[in-house]
Structure 1
């Protein structure tokens, strides 16, 4: 069997880690050589895949997912323009020279056939292009880049249905693209250092990828006119390695409600407490997993609610009657795959988009993250009382499960051209 060499340049985005490292694990299991550039916070996760780990040195190297180790505090942003500045300065453009330097050095050492770059690691894409190595960009969520027919990202909007909403999308699209393009001068300065010509717009760098691998089902996303290099390859439903502990259902026969907010810090402690207080009013068994960013001792729970740091959602979900979540993509698709309806309390990032895709399909309810205890309790009662939510979740979930079992993502990663220019077929 022909083996190939892959370099993954990954940034710890919390919920992005399990699906991206799921790709790594599958390549290693296929016999390929895989090296992962990753932060110290990801060392145990990378080790569990069997891949080799290289640390970021010039680029940021976060020690943990605790708030004190965050590159920036997006939960403190007072308006979208402040968030754009923070993203450009601390995530995309500010650290790009470091990502480029580390990735270029790794390419020279590893000599990969393909580099897989986190969407956040713009500098890694520059380095791969400069070294003449093809690169792919995974999207472990709904598709984020502007395309015709897709509503603007991260705002929780439904697709345009008439003149007014199409005008809405054009205006928002222009405003947001203008903000992203403020990073173009610094991006082009970096490209010049590496001997590359300038790009006109910020996302041109991302579109230079060989493939955009969208790690979800096409039916979960909204329909749009996608570029030829975009591939929907199905969700990776792996649990994070820090959550692979044993789990025993709490005693009782009442409906089980799983509560899981972000695995990174998004100032979610107060919201978690309101969810717990809401479940205290209901005849349910609540089970809360706080993730690595929140200490369970920061929460006060009644007798019918269990709070732990981590537990495998894949083991819990078959027993659950509802999930209350921030609507991170990983939690959402795993809940739907189990046919479990969702109460979404999006906190930011891509979470409003995931929430609207759930509620638009009748598979759940969306509330503000600031919703009161009473509203959370009322919405949870609705989810449990109306079987239509579970039926819709099961319909969409069956598609997600089907697509997750195809290994389309591995087929795309293995479909590389050979040195003579012929197309290499996926390994059987």
Structure 2
């Protein structure tokens, strides 16, 4: 039996993929636990899960508040803000608590989210085997390859973090703190992202959240079966920031031969066209089985869940990893891209018409869906972790 400790940030899209992996590990007889910010991570876990707080509740609330996102930032500025104002302070706040959790749980292997840098610091300092949980495919390629000075600055800050917390210099300066030298679990496939540009062994497992339970209060009777249906979603963190986009989307859908479901605050679409249904939340997996195309901000989870259903996408990336993910989908032939802040109703309308009618886009989405289905999801991730644990145990003195 091996004890696996998952180190996660307080973001739903980063916690959810770990749950099927942990379930598969427990089915095989291993012990699992999570550590992160109390009050923000533990409510996302299944009832009865073992959770170790990595900070006090007061510190968790402070860090969460300090990490409020800046909707005005784009591109390199958004990446820099995310690292300097959110992820590095989060790591500083969590390192001692993660260290304590390792001792309290008796962890043998750490499974560390890309944005939970504290887990990587602790694993490197203690010489523990660890795997990166890559909940976005953007880090499998270098998102800052065109901005080498910014990339160098961010790498230097991560090295400084390690040195300040006792990681030996030869370890801290080797590789990238965001990428384990032992194993990367990638919740996608090469069919979508292409060959990775990192040297670490990458296990492509496809989406791990496809079987998750959902609350379903959707008014299915309001959908007209004969009409093509489009899901329009900006994700949980961006819906409120899309005021202009929602107005454009409503106008783009007006008087068109399709129906649309907008996942948006009702006040941002106060007068929707008759063929637009506005809901603050939806059972996304169930809805994806009933729609014909998706308009998305290119969030990794929504993109992968849409492609797993064989659906082509219109992509309107906003910030962070979203432009990289959008480009991967376009390069794979399964979507078209529009400008989030500048798209006009006629441009968005044409893009939606294209993804609803172009057979090549649908065929590419179908190929990616097949690769996802064959990848193995949470079970494949668990198998890779067990192999990692056994190999590391075999080389210990």
Shorter-normalised TM range: 0.7 to 0.9
User: In structure 2, which of residues 83, 100, 117 is the aligned counterpart of residue 105 of structure 1?
Assistant: 100
CA distance in 2, matches of 1:11, 1:43: 11
Instruction: Map residues 10-25 of structure 1 onto 2, 5 A cutoff.
Output: 10-25=8-23
Select 2:73's aligned residue among 68, 74, 77: 77
- C-alpha separation in 2, matches of 1:269 and 1:240: 30
Residue number in structure 2 paired with 1:282: 256
Between the aligned partners of 1:89 and 1:63, the Cα distance in structure 2 is 16
How far apart, CA to CA, are the structure 2 residues paired with 1:296 and 1:331?
21
How many angstroms apart in 1 are the aligned matches of 2:113 and 2:253? 37
Query: Could you tell me which residue of structure 2 aligns to residue 296 of structure 1?
Result: 266
How far 1:344 moved relative to its partner?
A: 0.6
**Scaled by the length of structure 2, what TM-score is found?**
0.86
Q: Note if 1:43 corresponds to 2:42.
A: yes
Q: Deviations over 1:112-145 (max 9, x none)?
A: 1211112122222212233342221111222515
Indicate the RMSD between aligned Cα atoms, in angstroms: 3.0
Cα 1:251–1:417 shift into 2, 3 Å: closer
Deviation at 1:224, TM superposition (A): 4.2
Deviation at 1:302, TM superposition (A): 2.5
Per residue, is there more helix in 1 or in 2? Answer: 2
1:251-279: CA deviation from partner (whole Å, max 9, x where unpaired):
31211111121221372233233223322
* Structure 2 equivalent of residue 344 of structure 1: 315
Looking at structure 2, the residues matched to 63 and 262 of structure 1 have their Cα atoms a distance apart, in angstroms, of: 24
Find 1:323's aligned residue among 294, 304, 307.
294
Is the alpha carbon distance of 1:285 and 1:419 closer, same or farther for their aligned partners in structure 2, counting shifts above 3 Å?
closer
CA contact (8 A) 1:181 1:201 kept: no
Aligned to 2:231: 258
Length-normalised TM-score, structure 1: 0.81
Equivalents in 1 of 2:299, 2:392: separation in Å?
43
The alpha-carbon distance between structure 1 residues 72 and 203, as it changes in their structure 2 partners (threshold 3 A), is farther
Match of 2:334 in 1: 363
Mean alpha-carbon deviation: is it higher for 398-407 or for 324-333? 398-407
SS in 2 for 1:205: coil
Out of 24-33 and 10-19, give the one that drifted further: 24-33
Counterpart among 157, 160, 164 of residue 183 in structure 1: 157
Q: Give me the whole-angstrom Cα distance separating, in 2, the residues matched to 1:77 and 1:386.
A: 34
Among candidates 184, 199, 220, match of residue 212 of structure 1:
184
- Matches of 1:106 and 1:405, distance apart in 2: 27
Q: How does 1:10-409 map to 2 (within 5 A)?
A: 10-39=8-37, 40-48=39-47, 50-57=48-55, 61=60, 69=65, 71-77=67-73, 80=76, 82-144=77-139, 150=141, 152-153=142-143, 172=146, 174-184=148-158, 186-192=160-166, 196-197=168-169, 201=173, 204-238=176-210, 243-249=214-220, 250-252=222-224, 253-265=226-238, 267-290=241-264, 295-300=265-270, 301-370=272-341, 371-404=343-376, 407-409=379-381
